[in-house]
Amino acid sequence: MTIYLDAVWILNFLIDWMILQLVHWLTRASTPRVRLIAGGIVASLLVPITLLYPNNFFSTLPGKIIFSLIILVVSFGFKNLRQYMKQFLSFYFVSFAIGGGLFGIYFLVGQQLHNSNGLFVTYTTGFGDMVSWTFVAIFFPIVWWFTRTRLDQITFEKIRYSEMCPVKFELDGNQYETTGFFDSGNSLMDPFTKKPVIVCDEVVLKRCFSDSDWLQLKKCQEDWSFEHLPDKWLSRIRMIPYQGVGGRRAFILIFKPDNFYVKYQNQNYCLDKVYIGIQFGELSADGSYHCLLHPKIMQAPKLKIS
Residues 5-60: tens digit of each pLDDT = 666 777 778 778 888 888 887 777 777 888 888 988 898 888 788 778 878 888 78
92 and 32 belong to one structural domain: yes
Q: Is 183 an annotated catalytic residue?
A: yes
pLDDT tens across 240-286, in order?
887 765 556 778 889 999 989 988 777 788 887 889 999 888 888 77
15 and 149 belong to one structural domain: yes
Catalytic entry in 129, 152, 172, 183: 183
255 and 222 belong to one structural domain: yes
195 and 53 belong to one structural domain: no
Count of domains forming the chain: 2
180 and 59 belong to one structural domain: no
| Residue ranges making up the domain that contains 249 | 164-305
142 and 169 belong to one structural domain: no
217 and 282 belong to one structural domain: yes
Find the DSSP H helices in 224-257: none
Q: Which of 125, 142, 158 delimits the end of a domain?
A: 158
Number of residues written out for the chain: 306
Put simply, whether the predicted model's pTM sits higher than 0.75 gets the answer no
253 and 273 belong to one structural domain: yes
Q: List residues bridging with 169 in a β-sheet.
A: 176, 260
pLDDT at 201 over 50: yes
151 and 174 belong to one structural domain: no
Q: What is the pLDDT of residue 124?
A: 46
Task: Identify the band that residue 129 occupies on the pLDDT scale cut at 50, 70 and 90.
Answer: very low
Average pLDDT, the chain: 77
Report the alpha-carbon angle 251-244-180, nearest 5: 90
Q: Which of 158, 191, 219 delimits the end of a domain?
A: 158
249 and 292 belong to one structural domain: yes
142 and 182 belong to one structural domain: no
Task: Identify the band that residue 108 occupies on the pLDDT scale cut at 50, 70 and 90.
Answer: low
Q: Specify the 3-state DSSP secondary structure of 248.
A: coil
228 and 263 in contact (C-beta within 8 Å)?
no
35 and 76 in contact (C-beta within 8 Å)?
yes
149 and 11 belong to one structural domain: yes
Q: Which CATH number is 209's domain given?
A: 2.40.70
